[in-house]
Structure 1
């Protein structure tokens, strides 16, 4: 049976991103952009109450982007009432304040995206989620694109910091570390194997929030990441249920905080079928690899699902590990 946990941990270390406090360059760019926004807002525009990080950097679940386009998520809370500004008008104010020849600024459904270019390629981008706060301290997210119909432009009650706290505090200690590693494995698999954009990475994070359980080998009480990943996929596949709206079986991944949305609601039936099939393929490959006596072959098979960053040991290295394991297993009879 292949000893795969160490290779998964090595893969995790090669692909993980820390938080913004660990990345001075991105932190500086974020701070400069926020200051630029403050400085360029017109006098009649509402002022910024506060900003905070959200998304994978804040949750400690980020991975290195395959295309080199780093994604920073920042919440910007404006000092105005729900009735005094429309979601689109305040997004347009943000866009106009940040327009610059060296970057593009686009209004998207849930954010304003600022992309920094190096030549013709996007080097990194910042998603600014625009919020206002009511008298009770509840946040409302500006939803809608510039050309969207009025029914698609609205303020949606949201709890981004509550979501971050829920994700971060779901587990503690070593269990939390394994939880974050498994989330990153799923994200790497998504980037390598899911060709469409219908599966948001936050849905995988929230799926782990709902269904991940720590896994330790019962003999030595040590973490076993590939088995934890298999058990999470088992739970996800067991959660497909009949949808009366779509008359098919679908997976629901609901936010644990306001607005309690199903993060997979917008996936098409074909995308949902592909997701189920891809998860089954991944689970089968993991089980086969765990049962494969050839560690090299097992790792090579998994690289098809996780990409070239997944370590593939040489035969001599794997053989040495097998010899070490056999010595440990027979040492008590010597």
Structure 2
């Protein structure tokens, strides 16, 4: 059996978001906030919104993408509608237009107005998504352009995950990042689950029996996820609005995910069963791609292996040398 915890640690360093990049993303987010505040104050003469970060950036599970954009989610909470009844709120399309106009010209690429958010795209391979909410009662409503004002509470999900980490340990965050690294490498034409779905699955089925072995913790968590989904292909958001997240997938999408999990488990088991660390690392590379390090034995170790495997040599005296 070969444990590659040190190689997982090295891989984690490669995919982990550096403090410099976090600061760059934070500054961009804050600059957008200022643009929106100014627009509401000067152009709309409305109470400025409040902002709450959400998603993987706030959970600290964002990874460096292989070939794609960093994604930052920043919720815009409209303060001036809080005191009104919902039937008197502006339409989701109208509030989206406010945010589009507020950030227009902020970057050289025009903002994208999506159903669930307004996206601001930066040339430096990242974007900021701006979902828009009104906090009414105990939970906010999201401005969805095609579905209207719908229930959503991303702050609750962030708190839930951070509570899971507090009780289960930081290894859970690393396992989530490994899952995202696997998704990033393996995802092709057939899409794998969102980072949010993978995060909830990992937290629900985290195996804490291997605190000093990230490779075993990772593969045992994946095994627990696969076992549960084989029995019941369902995942309910653990906080309000308690919605089902995956059971409406097509059979093709379900089978693709289950087959990829099965392949991941087999390759992970084979890597751990290897007696040679270089061979084990090569199997992990088929899981994560070339960002995962290939193990190279130190010279002293290589010489020791050579000596132990070399055949006996007969000397002139007729005895083994």
TM-score, with structure 1 as normaliser: 0.81
Alpha-carbon distance in structure 2 between the residues aligned to 1:265 and 1:98: 37
Which residue in the other structure is 1:328 paired with?
A: none
Asked whether the 8 Å contact 2:109–2:122 carries over to 1, the reply is yes
Which residue in the other structure is 2:258 paired with?
A: 276
* Cα 1:157–1:318 shift into 2, 3 Å: farther
Asked whether the 8 Å contact 2:141–2:150 carries over to 1, the reply is yes
Indicate whether 1:292 and 2:293 are aligned.
no
- Of residues 129, 132, 135, the one that matches 1:130 is 132
Which residue in the other structure is 2:165 paired with?
A: 171
Asked whether the 8 Å contact 1:199–1:267 carries over to 2, the reply is no
Equivalent residues in 2 for 1:247-266 (5 A)? 251-265=233-247
* SS of aligned partner of 1:180: helix
Asked whether the 8 Å contact 2:202–2:222 carries over to 1, the reply is no
Alpha-carbon distance in structure 2 between the residues aligned to 1:283 and 1:318: 33
Deviation at 1:319, TM superposition (A): 3.7
Asked whether the 8 Å contact 2:183–2:192 carries over to 1, the reply is no
Deviation at 1:128, TM superposition (A): 0.6
Alpha-carbon distance in structure 2 between the residues aligned to 1:241 and 1:154: 35
* SS of aligned partner of 1:103: coil
Asked whether the 8 Å contact 1:55–1:164 carries over to 2, the reply is yes
Which residue in the other structure is 1:229 paired with?
A: 218
Indicate whether 1:109 and 2:98 are aligned.
no
Indicate whether 1:38 and 2:37 are aligned.
yes
Unaligned runs of 5+ in 1: 145-151, 217-221, 243-249, 324-334
Q: Could you say what the CA RMSD is over the residues aligned between the two structures, in angstroms?
A: 2.5
Which residue in the other structure is 1:162 paired with?
A: 156
Which residue in the other structure is 1:53 paired with?
A: 53
Deviation at 1:187, TM superposition (A): 0.5
Unaligned runs of 5+ in 2: 306-321
* SS of aligned partner of 1:71: strand
Q: Which piece of structure 1 moves more, 59-68 or 284-293?
A: 59-68
- Structure exhibiting the larger radius of gyration computed from Cα positions: 2
Q: How many residues were matched structurally?
A: 297
Alpha-carbon distance in structure 2 between the residues aligned to 1:12 and 1:160: 26
Which residue in the other structure is 2:310 paired with?
A: none
Which residue in the other structure is 1:86 paired with?
A: 91
Deviation at 1:86, TM superposition (A): 1.4
* Cα 1:19–1:62 shift into 2, 3 Å: farther
Q: Which runs of 4+ in 1 moved over 6 A?
A: none
Indicate whether 1:9 and 2:9 are aligned.
yes
Asked whether the 8 Å contact 1:51–1:76 carries over to 2, the reply is yes
Which residue in the other structure is 2:312 paired with?
A: none
Equivalent residues in 2 for 1:314-325 (5 A)? 314-316=296-298, 319=301
Alpha-carbon distance in structure 1 between the residues aligned to 2:250 and 2:286: 25
Asked whether the 8 Å contact 1:18–1:57 carries over to 2, the reply is no
Alpha-carbon distance in structure 2 between the residues aligned to 1:14 and 1:172: 24
Alpha-carbon distance in structure 1 between the residues aligned to 2:243 and 2:7: 36
